[in-house]
Each structure stands twice: as structure tokens, then as C-alpha cells.
Amino acid sequence: MRLLLSLLLAFSSLPALAAAPLDRLSVPKGFHIALYSDQVPDAREIALGAKGTVFVGSNDAGKVYALTDTNGDGVADKVRVIASGLQLPVGVAFKDGDLYVSAVSRILVLRDIENHLDDPPKPVVVTDRLPTETHHGWKFIAFGPDGKLYVPIGAPCNICDPGPDHGKLIRMNADGSGWQDVARGIRNSVGFDWQPGTHRLWFTDNGRDMMGDDMPSDELNEIVGPGEHFGYPYCHQGDTLDPEFGKGKSCRDYVPPVLKLGAHVAALGMRFYTGKQFPTSYKGAIIVAEHGSWNRTKKSGYRVMTVRLNGSRVVSYEPLVSGFEQDEKAWGRPADVQPLPDGSVLVSDDLAGSVYRVTYKP
């Protein structure tokens, strides 16, 4: 009895991790946000399995999680650790029953994972030839419409000439063979997706630091042709030459962003919305997780944004979820977004160690 009483007292004294912070969040009229799970430390990229499993990579936790909602109530009732001890396993991508995981210099795969959630297989190395630097070494990964695995290789610095092995986006076959460069001049992309209909790849890119509070902007980019160069380290935000590396260069020689997202907002995961639950104005829009600034005098980002498009032209850029930061104090940092088959959208938060679910019901 004494042990039971002690346990009850201990649990009653735990902080309310979910209810109070969620009350601070703002969403447009008719939208709702609820906790999907608060048991996912350092939650980063989200991927969906064929059987409804929600896979989540992590930043500093070194773990990969599998979340399941067995009764369909919109809340994960079981969270499993399916891999641990990995180096920054931020990226997760699902294909043909297998889960691919990025771990800085390696891509790993867990075979037939959804049939072995309680006894996960040992990760198998797909490739271990990626750069070993951890500065911008974490990787958002995804399979494209061509069946190939797309992998960004960030610049190993704030600002430098990254050389041919960094500052780019590559693709490879699922077995790790057939590497190809897709685009260059990319400082650090931690989110990309393919536009429905056009199948063109769009990606976020984080601008450099130490040029002041308001320079340069993070970018939303579209790849129109193979081998395009998006400016880094010579030209930032499509119109500003770098004080050091821009000498003798012209921004006209590089692809400008489709949209300037704002300085230091740290735009990470992004997905096109193709569901039917949200209003029709969201169909084909891009939803972007903005992780938030770390070195700006006044914080920026800390929100989830909607970018509406007409083809490749931006129509609007407005908040979907805000309130992760108030009075210059942040309790949450959105890292990725992932639409579910029912049209709702999951949002990962690595600061709160949580995943939220955004729904629409007027």
C-alpha cells in the first residue's frame, strides 16, 4: 500500500506536458490540434507504413520510433523503439515493407518492419559512404516517384565553399547503388516533397547565419531541371551576394527561390497536402514546419505554415499552427509534417518530444 501511494503521489506531481502547452496553440477557424503522442523524445522526420504505422526518427535520442493507433481514435496507444544507438537517425523513409533510416554517413534499412514491431530486425547497412561530418550531417530522406532514395548532403559549415562532395541533393537506388547528383548550391535542406501532377521536387533550404537578424532568408525552392545550382555559398535568397564568397559572382547565374520564408525561421520538413479533410483551398498547398531561430535577437519561426500555390506561383503564405513560442520563450519546435490517409496532418516537435495531429471539422 505504501509503495502504491508513493507511485500515485509521484505521478500526480508530474508536469502537465500536453494540456497546458496545447492551449497556447492557435489554428485557423474550424481546425483543431490534439496530442498524438508525448512519448517521442527529439522527434524529427515522420514516415508512414503500409499498415498505418507512424515511424519517427530522432535527433539527439539516437532512436527510431514506431507509433500505432490500434483503435482509430486519433491517438497513438503504443510507442515502440525499433532501433537505438544510432548517430542522429533523423530521416525515415518507407518502401515496399522496409524502413530506411539515415544516420549521418550511413543509410540503414529495417526489413519487413511492420510485421516485426515487437521484435524489430537488426538494421542492415545500405551504404556507409556518405560524409561523416555531423555539422548539417543529419538527413531528411524520401523516396521519389522514380523509386529512388533522395538524400541531402549539407554544407559542413555555416559558410564555406563546400566542394563537390557537399552542399547538394543526391539520389540512389534502394540498394545504395547508382548515385546521382540532383541539384547543387544547397546549404542545408531538411525537407522536400514532389508536387502532385508535375512530380517536380520542392525543398526547403536554411540560409546562412552571422549576416544579421534579417539576412538571409530561408528558401522554398523548386527543381525544374537536373543539375540546377541554387546559389550557396555565392548568392543567398536569390538576390544577395555573400560578403566573402560572392566576390566576382552574379546572382543571375543561380536559381532564385520560389519564396523567401523569412530569416532564420529554420524551415525543415515540408509536404504537399493532397487530402480531402481540410478545406479545398488547402488542396495542393505546401505545409512547412519552421523549427525556429536560435541566434536572432527576436525569435522567428516556431510555427507551421501553409504555402498556397497556383502552379509554381505562390498565392499566399500564412500560419496553420502558431504559439510554440510566446514572449521570446519557446516550449515547442516543429520539425516535420506528415498528412495521414484520413486527411489530418501530423506535426513532430523535437523540443517537447511530441507528435500532434491537426484535424478540420467546422
pLDDT (tens digit, 9 = 90+) per residue, 253-279? 999 999 999 999 999 999 999 999 999
pLDDT (tens digit, 9 = 90+) per residue, 335-356? 999 999 999 999 999 999 999 9
Contact 83, 117 (CB under 8 A): no
pLDDT (tens digit, 9 = 90+) per residue, 104-159? 999 999 999 999 999 999 999 999 999 999 999 999 999 999 999 999 999 999 99
Question: Beta partners for 331?
Answer: none
Whether 104 is in a domain gets the answer yes
Contact 89, 103 (CB under 8 A): yes
Bond before 362 cis per omega within 30 degrees: no
Whole-number Å distance between alpha carbons of 97 and 171: 20
Q: Residue 196: give the domain boundaries.
A: 28-360
Whether 71 is in a domain gets the answer yes
Supply the CATH number for residue 56's domain. 2.120.10.30
Q: Which helix (H) or strand (E) holds 290?
A: strand 286-290
Report whether pLDDT(162) > 80: yes
Could you tell me whether strands 92-95 and 98-103 are parallel, antiparallel, or unpaired per DSSP bridges? antiparallel
Whether 41 is in a domain gets the answer yes
Whether 205 is in a domain gets the answer yes
pLDDT (tens digit, 9 = 90+) per residue, 175-192? 999 999 999 999 999 999
Whether 15 is in a domain gets the answer no
What band does 21 get if pLDDT is binned at 50, 70 and 90? confident
pLDDT (tens digit, 9 = 90+) per residue, 44-66? 999 999 999 999 999 999 999 99
Whether 13 is in a domain gets the answer no
Whether 20 is in a domain gets the answer no
Report whether pLDDT(16) > 70: no
Whether 111 is in a domain gets the answer yes
Contacts with 142 (C-beta within 8 Å, 6 or more apart), sequence order: 91, 93, 149, 150, 192, 193
Q: Say what the pLDDT of residue 11 is.
A: 32
Contact 82, 57 (CB under 8 A): no
The radius of gyration of the chain from alpha carbons, rounded to an integer in Å, stands at 20
Contact 267, 300 (CB under 8 A): no
pLDDT (tens digit, 9 = 90+) per residue, 74-96? 999 999 999 999 999 999 999 99
Report whether pLDDT(2) > 80: no
Report whether pLDDT(9) > 70: no
Number of domains in the chain: 1
| Cα 230 to Cα 41, 44, 90, 217, 233, distances in angstroms | 33, 25, 24, 13, 9
